[in-house]
Amino acid sequence: MTGFQSALDFGQMEERLRRLTTALTTRAAIAQTPKQLIWTLNKARLYRYLPVVPAEKRHRVPLLLVFALMNRPDILDLRPGHSFVEFMVNRGFDVYLLDWGCPGLEDRDLKFDDYTLEYMPRAIRKLKVISESQEFSLLGWCIGAILTTSYAALRPDDGLRNLILLTAPLDFSNKDAITFAKWTDPRYFDVEKILAAFGNMPPEMIEYGAKALKPVENYIGNYIRLWDNLDNPQIVEAWHAMHTWVTDNIPMAGATFRQLIVDLYQNNRLMQGTWELRGECVDVRRIRASLLTVIAEGDHITPACQSESIHRMAGSGDKELFRSPGGHIGIMAGSGASTQTWPRIDAWLGKRSA
């Protein structure tokens, strides 16, 4: 049957229409790996994924995942059979997830200071109790990498053994290469006016910002790709899961957003060594944990130049830099993630988690 004939097959058309409607109007079942809630504070939740490998065969050092503040962490556990969390649990890691939750207006004064020096130490304390290990590994992705880097620099003696940074926006010096840095230039972008109007940074504005970096691909090409692949249930399922996650953004606490724009995007304080959290200077040279920096070669949100300098500046004796083909999200949730990025992280971390 030719493609033209198949287009005229009414039974197939009905099935295509059903798949299209489902993908566009319903939410896919994502974040399905079984987990247990072990700690809460305000909106933050610490989960432990139920191990599937017997305790004697598991890696001794637990792994804590820290995702960005403005998206749900479900992307780390997108769908059964295609989930980083599921992969790591099956590889014998004791995996924990710190979910920051959805800040309300009452949280608009929360800052990086609070997340890094109030929430994270408390969650890590609980992780140590549950895992019965004084050592742990941290994986930070996107803004989560800012939080984990800051924590690693401020609390180098807290038992942090391994630090994995994924597409980490840490260095904001090369303004020409960073589109967000142009958009948030103080000449054009009045952060105080936005926060006065909304309190927190609205998720719609964050979503627009992320999509507008590649407007044709995100607003048109993405839907054409779905249309072209309606006969392929696997691709539709993958598209549906990703669409569910992409369209479920959360606000960013106002004070944190102010720090992100003013301290980091506009003044690059972290890499200049002048960023202070609760009066303590975040000096990345104090990081001693083994460091794996993962850079996405096709990243429009966090270009490679933002993650390269930490690799040079961190005080760690054991450092590795891995460049993965793919974009900001694709390196961990795209079709090639399970054959490229995940095995690399597993191999690197496995050797250092005994």
Partner 1 sequence: MGDKPKGNPSASDRPLDPLEAWRNMRDATLDAWSKAMIEAVNTEAYAGTTGAMLDASLSASAPIREALQKSMAQALQMLNLPSRADFESLAGRITNLEMHLDDIDAKLDGLRQPPHTNAKAPKRKPKPR
Tell me whether residue 286 or residue 300 sits nearer to partner 1 (CB atom).
300
**188 binding partner 1? (CB under 8 A):** yes
Give the span between the Cα atoms of 37 and 285, in whole angstroms: 34
328 belongs to the catalytic site: yes
Q: Which residue has the tokens 């566009």?
A: 24
Please classify residue 189 by burial: count the beta carbons closer than 10 Å to its beta carbon, then call 0-12 exposed, 13-18 middle and 19+ buried. middle
User: For partner 1, which residue of 179, 266, 267, 340 counts as binding (CB under 8 A)?
Assistant: 179
Nearer to partner 1, 46 or 97 (CB): 46
Q: Does 4 bind partner 1 (CB under 8 A)?
A: yes
Site for partner 1 in 297-336 (CB under 8 A): 298, 300, 326-331, 333-335
What tokens does 320 get? 């590795």
Given the rule CB under 8 A, which of 148-156, 207-215, 263-271, 341-349 is the region that contacts partner 1?
207-215
**Cβ-proximal residues to 265 (8 Å cutoff; 6+ apart), any chain:** 172, 178, 180, 181, 184
Q: Write the binding mask 69 to 108 for partner 1: x where contact by CB under 8 A, - elsewhere.
A: -----------------------------------xxxx-
Q: Is 53 near partner 1 (CB under 8 A)?
A: no
Catalytic, out of 74, 94, 171, 299: 299
Contacts of 157 (CB under 8 A, 6+ apart): none
> Of 193, 186, 323, nearest to 264 (Cα)?
186
Q: Does 132 bind partner 1 (CB under 8 A)?
A: yes
Catalytic residue among 142, 240, 263, 346: 142
Report the nearest approach of partner 1 to the CB of residue 324 (Å): 11
Q: How far apart are CA 343 and CA 91, in angstroms?
A: 10
The nearest distance, CB 232 to partner 1, in angstroms, is 7
- Number of shown-chain residues binding partner 1 (CB under 8 A): 69
Give 247: exposed, middle or buried? Use CB within 10 Å, 0-12, 13-18, 19+: exposed
For partner 1, the binding residue among 21, 36, 40, 274 (CB under 8 A) is 40
Q: With respect to partner 1, which residue has the nearer C-beta, 90 or 218?
A: 218
In the region spanning residues 112 to 131, those forming contacts with partner 1, defined by CB under 8 A, are 118, 122, 125-126, 129
Count other C-beta atoms under 10 Å from residue 311's C-beta.
Answer: 18
Which of 24, 41, 52, 347 forms a contact with partner 1 (CB under 8 A)? 41
Q: Are 259 and 288 spatial neighbours (Cβ–Cβ below 8 Å)?
A: no
Q: Which of 80, 221, 233, 343 binds partner 1 (CB under 8 A)?
A: 221
How many helical (H) and strand (E) elements, i.e. helices and strands, does the chain have? 17, 10
In the annotation, is 142 catalytic? yes
Instruction: Pick the closer one to partner 1 by CB: 107 or 346.
Output: 107
Nearer to partner 1, 63 or 242 (CB): 242
Rule CB under 8 A: say whether 11 interacts with partner 1.
no
Pick from 21, 22, 134, 173 the residue near partner 1 by CB under 8 A. 134
> Residue 286 carries which DSSP code?
G
Q: Where are the beta strands (DSSP E) in the chain?
A: 35-41, 44-49, 63-66, 95-99, 136-141, 160-166, 276-277, 280-281, 290-296, 319-324
Closest CA to 301 of 137, 168, 163: 168
Integer-rounded Cα radius of gyration of the chain? 21
Helix (H, G, I), strand (E, B) or coil at 62: coil
* Residues at the site binding partner 1, with contacts judged by CB under 8 A: 1-4, 6-7, 39-42, 104-107, 118, 122, 125-126, 129, 132-135, 179, 182-183, 185, 187-190, 193-194, 196-197, 211-218, 220-222, 224-225, 228-229, 232, 234-235, 238-239, 242-243, 246, 298, 300, 326-331, 333-335
Which amino acids are annotated catalytic? 142, 299, 328
